[in-house]
Amino acid sequence: MKIDANARYTETHEWVRKEGDLLVYGITDRAQDALSDIVYVELPGVGEKFSKGDTIGTVESVKAASDLYIPVDGEITEVNETLSASPELVNSDPFGEGWMVKFKPANPGDIESLLSPEAYEQIPAE
């Protein structure tokens, strides 16, 4: 299982990484592996605001569809448009080219409430 040491994690297998004033968001290596071949990614629009735990989109694979949940309150500032044509990037590079959205957190300190890489690694595989 690949881990990004600079990211924070959720128990629902999403990650966020701080880049300046923004948070970059995606699903973890473990999540993409469990979903298998991802064939479609539905993401929110720029400017949409969400509260922690809100559904911001869906990932569909040959096995299942899975909702995407935002881990902290924030406003979407950028969407990875490349995923509409190449959703498989989530499988091949979940922490890089497979990022999903960038958003401005309502409270930047909220990221500290998320799991550290070490804590995420301790979550049992499903």
CATH number at residue 88: 2.40.50.100
Residues 6+ apart with CB under 8 A from 12: 69
Q: Helix, strand, coil % (nearest 5) of the chain?
A: 20, 35, 45
Residues 6+ apart with CB under 8 A from 62: 36, 37, 39
Range of the domain at 91: 7-107
Q: Would 64 be classed as within a structural domain?
A: yes
Task: Say yes or no to pLDDT of 125 above 80.
Answer: no
Task: Say yes or no to pLDDT of 1 above 90.
Answer: no
Q: How many domains, the chain?
A: 1
The Cα 78–Cα 80 span in angstroms is 7
What average pLDDT does range 41-45 have in this prediction?
A: 98
For residue 51, the model assigns a pLDDT of 98
Q: Would 59 be classed as within a structural domain?
A: yes
What average pLDDT does range 94-120 have in this prediction?
A: 97
Reported as a pLDDT band with limits 50, 70 and 90, residue 57 is very high
Q: Would 63 be classed as within a structural domain?
A: yes
What average pLDDT does range 26-33 have in this prediction?
A: 96
Q: Which amino acid is at 87?
A: P
Reported as a pLDDT band with limits 50, 70 and 90, residue 126 is low
Task: Say yes or no to pLDDT of 24 above 80.
Answer: yes
**Cα 16 from chain centroid (whole Å):** 6
Q: Would 118 be classed as within a structural domain?
A: no
Q: Would 114 be classed as within a structural domain?
A: no
Q: What is the pTM of this model?
A: 0.95
What average pLDDT does range 94-107 have in this prediction?
A: 98
* Residue keyed to tokens 């297998």: 13
